[in-house]
Amino acid sequence: MSIVQQPELVVTRPRPDRLCFVTPPNRQTWATESLLVNVHTDGRFVVLTGCFHAYATGDESKTERRMGPFSSEANASSACAAIAAAIRLPRVPRRVTEQELRAEPARFDKAHVEVTGTWTYGFESCSFVGASFVPPSEKSWPSSVISKRITARGFWSFAPESFGNRGAYDAQLCAYEMFDVPGKTFKIGSSDISFEQNGDRDEWRVCVNGSPVMMASQGNVVEWLPIGPCLRSPEPFEVRKQQAKCLWSGGHADVQGTIVYLMEEVALTLSVDRKTVVVTIRDASDTSA
Split at pLDDT 50, 70, 90, the class of 289 is very low
The residue that leads in pLDDT, 93 or 117, is 93
DSSP 85: H
Vertex 38: Cα angle to 32 and 42 (nearest 5): 115
pLDDT tens sequence across 14-29: 999 999 999 999 999 9
pTM listed for this prediction: 0.66
Answer yes or no: are the C-beta atoms of 203 and 225 closer than 8 Å.
yes
pLDDT of 221-259, one tens digit each? 999 998 988 887 778 899 998 999 999 876 666 667 777
DSSP 164: S
> 143: pLDDT confidence band, cut at 50, 70 and 90?
low
Which class does domain 94-180 fall in?
Answer: mainly beta
Instruction: Please report, for residues 10, 96, 222, 270, the alpha-carbon distance to residue 215 in angstroms, rounded to integers and kept in the order given.
Output: 45, 18, 6, 10
pLDDT band at 287 (very low <50, low <70, confident <90, very high): low
Q: Is the peptide bond before 25 cis (omega within 30 degrees of 0)?
A: yes
What does DSSP say about strands 204-208 and 211-212: parallel, antiparallel, or unpaired? antiparallel
Q: How much is the average pLDDT of 88-109?
A: 93
245 phi and psi angles, rounded to 5 deg: -130, 140
247 CB-near residues (< 8 Å, 6+ apart): 235, 263, 264, 265, 284
Q: What is the pLDDT of residues 70-85, one digit of tens each?
A: 999 999 999 999 999 9
Give yes or no for a contact between 236 and 243, defined as CB atoms under 8 angstroms apart.
no
Amino acid identity for residue 225 in this structure? L
Phi, psi dihedral angles at 110 (to 5 degrees): 70, 10
Q: Are 168 and 132 in contact (CB under 8 A)?
A: yes
150-159 b/e with 16+ CB inside 10 Å = b? bbbbbbbbbe
Sequence letter at residue 283: D
Contacts of 222 (CB under 8 A, 6+ apart): 215, 216, 279
Return left, alpha or beta for 166; rule: phi > 0 is left, psi -120 to 50 is alpha, else beta: left
The full set of domain ranges for the chain reads: 2-87, 94-180, 186-283
